[in-house]
């Protein structure tokens, strides 16, 4: 893959990211935020393959990372409200914090952020992306998943790293995965994502319970902790099967 083809691929991804960013500027809905975060992950996956292990040829800029992270905080509260939509006190608490998170996200949405990023990335492209580099990236990613999967009890950081690797395998079209492989990577990634969502719910419930303790809150929190442990156990079994 030569420089021109790499440029076209990144330009296409940047155009899609720009559209998602514009949509998020118009409305910070759950759908718009999800779309924006997916396009950031797709671009990040390709950039990691273009030159794995270094930042020489560009990465996601700090300002865009900050928007991505703040959008993630908004998403956490949006999902929390959906999960506990029937609990008035939790929904009211979440709405207050969601408004704060949305205000911060709005302030971080600079007009030409993606446009400035485009210039930097296109200026730092490598001359080519050979088949050996693509193959090496794929092999290293699979080995990394295998190494992390063999931890006795997967930790949060390890599960997050595995999910990033799975996203790379899922999004990078040049890696040559079959539809069934991509489907499996997505399924496993979604399972780990459910653990991370549950982890966020536990953290937010602990925060609320600390400020407004109640027996009902404690019961909800214990149920979520048990659910998180069950999900981790299920993913661990699946990882064990996939890496044998």
pLDDT: which is higher, 168 or 105:
105
- pLDDT for 56 equals 47
- Looking at residue 32, its pLDDT comes to 95
Nearest to 142 by CA among 158, 157, 162: 162
pLDDT digits (tens, 9 = 90+) for 32-48: 999 999 999 888 888 87
Distance, CA of 122 to CA of 106 (rounded, Å): 27
Asked if residue 229 and residue 208 are part of one domain, the reply reads yes
* Domains: count for the chain: 2
CA–CA gap between residue 232 and residue 116 (Å, rounded): 40
Q: Which of 75, 110, 129 is the last residue of a domain?
A: 129
In angstroms, rounded to a whole number, what is the distance separating the alpha carbons of residues 191 and 30?
A: 20
CB-CB contact of 156 with 199 (8 Å): yes
Task: Report the pLDDT value the prediction gives residue 201, as an integer from 0 to 100.
Answer: 93
Which of 95, 129, 163 is at the close of a domain? 129
pLDDT tier at 53, thresholds 50, 70, 90:
low
pLDDT for 62 equals 86
Nearest to 83 by CA among 200, 190, 229, 235: 200
Instruction: Specify the CATH number for the domain of residue 96.
Output: 1.20.120
Domain boundary among 72, 106, 129: 129
pLDDT band at 130 (very low <50, low <70, confident <90, very high): low
Q: Which two tokens stand for residue 80?
A: 């929390």
Where does the pLDDT of residue 100 fall: very low under 50, low under 70, confident under 90, or very high at 90 and above?
very high
Res. 57 pLDDT band, cuts 50 70 90: very low
On the question of pLDDT at 159 being above 80, the answer is yes
Q: What sign has the CA pseudo-torsion 127, 133, 135, 140?
A: negative
Question: In this prediction, what percent of the chain has a pLDDT beyond 90?
Answer: 39
Block residue for tokens 């442990």: 229
Q: Among candidates 110, 113, 89, 94, which has minimal Cα distance to 40?
A: 113
Assess whether 146 and 167 both reside in one domain: yes
The whole domain housing 209 covers 130-244
Round to whole Å and give the CA distance between 145 and 141. 6
Q: Are residues 122 and 8 in the same domain?
A: yes
| pLDDT, average across residues 181-210 | 89
Q: Which residue has the higher pLDDT, 88 or 213?
A: 88
Same domain for 36 and 54, yes or no, is: yes
Name the DSSP class of 124: T
Question: Looking at residue 169, what is its pLDDT?
Answer: 80
Claim to verify: residue 88 and residue 163 sit in the same structural domain: no
Q: Is the pTM higher than 0.95?
A: no
Mean pLDDT score of the chain: 84
pLDDT exceeds 50 at position 27 = yes
Q: Is the pLDDT of residue 170 over 50?
A: yes
Residues 85-99, mean pLDDT to the nearest whole number: 91
Cβ(33)–Cβ(73) below 8 Å:
no
């Amino acid at each position: 893959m030569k420089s021109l083809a790499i440029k076209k691929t990144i330009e296409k991804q940047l155009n899609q990211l720009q559209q998602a960013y514009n949509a998020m500027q118009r409305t910070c809905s759950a759908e718009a935020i999800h779309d924006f975060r997916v396009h950031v992950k797709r671009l990040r996956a390709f950039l990691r393959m273009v030159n794995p292990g270094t930042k020489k040829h560009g990465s996601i800029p700090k300002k865009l990372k900050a928007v991505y992270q703040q959008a993630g905080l908004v998403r956490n509260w949006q999902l929390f409200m959906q999960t506990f939509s029937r609990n008035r006190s939790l929904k009211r608490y979440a709405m207050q914090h969601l408004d704060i998170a949305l205000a911060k996200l709005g302030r971080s949405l600079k007009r030409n952020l993606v446009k400035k990023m485009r210039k930097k990335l296109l200026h730092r492209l490598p001359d080519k992306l050979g088949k050996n580099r693509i193959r090496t990236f794929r092999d290293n990613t699979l080995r990394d998943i295998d190494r992390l999967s063999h931890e006795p009890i997967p930790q949060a950081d390890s599960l997050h790293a595995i999910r990033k690797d799975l996203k790379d395998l899922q999004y990078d079209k040049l890696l040559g995965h079959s539809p069934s492989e991509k489907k499996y990577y997505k399924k496993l990634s979604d399972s780990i994502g459910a653990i991370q969502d549950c982890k966020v719910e536990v953290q937010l419930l602990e925060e609320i319970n600390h400020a407004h303790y109640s027996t009902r809150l404690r019961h909800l929190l214990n149920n979520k902790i048990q659910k998180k442990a069950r999900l981790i156990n299920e993913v661990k079994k699946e990882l064990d099967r996939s890496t044998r």
